[in-house]
Structure formats: structure tokens, C-alpha cells
Amino acid sequence: MSKIINQDSLVTADVMQLVSHEREVALSTREWKHRLKGYGYSIRDTEDGKHVLETLPHHVALCELPCEMFS
């Protein structure tokens, strides 16, 4: 399991803005994940039910995503 790296809060805020926007326009979680891949990100579901945003192709963990984004 990869550890979440310490990110600049402004960078994380910008990435989260992109992720949130893409979630709003996607019709399903599957489409959302596909759209994020186009930007070089993926979402990894953890064993304890959390969701981690990672970079592609190296799967560097950036931040944990709020559960509200998946409902």
C-alpha cells in the first residue's frame, strides 16, 4: 500500500477542484474514473472502504477523497 505523500495545499486544492468538477459532469462513478484517467489520475479503493487519488502511471497517492463524492 502506498503512503500518501505530503503535498502543497494549493496543489492539492487545484487537483481537488478538477476532481470535483469531473465528478459533477460524470453520469456515473465508472465514467468519473475514466475521465480522471485522461488527466493522469486514478482512484484506488482501499480495504477499509476509503478512496485514494493517485497519479498515473506510478500510482503515487496524493490524497484521500471524501466519501460524499461516491454517493
Question: Alpha-carbon dihedral of residues 15, 66, 5, 47, nearest 10 degrees?
Answer: -130
Q: Please check whether residue 64 lies inside any domain of the structure.
A: yes
What the block records as the C-alpha cell of 24 is 459533477
pLDDT at 7: 62
pLDDT at 11: 77
Q: Please check whether residue 3 lies inside any domain of the structure.
A: no
Number of structural domains found in the chain: 1
CA distance linking residue 14 with residue 34, whole number of Å: 19
Q: Model's pTM, two decimal places?
A: 0.83
Which whole-number Å values give the CA distances from 23 to 42, 47, 48, in the listed order? 13, 22, 22
Those residues with Cβ within 8 angstroms of residue 65's Cβ, 6 or more apart along the chain or in another chain: 19, 43, 50, 51, 52, 53
| 33-53 pLDDT tens trace | 999 999 999 999 999 999 999
Band the pLDDT of 12: cuts 50, 70, 90: confident
Q: Please check whether residue 2 lies inside any domain of the structure.
A: no
Task: Please give the residue range of the domain that contains residue 17.
Answer: 9-70
What the block records as the C-alpha cell of 8 is 502543497
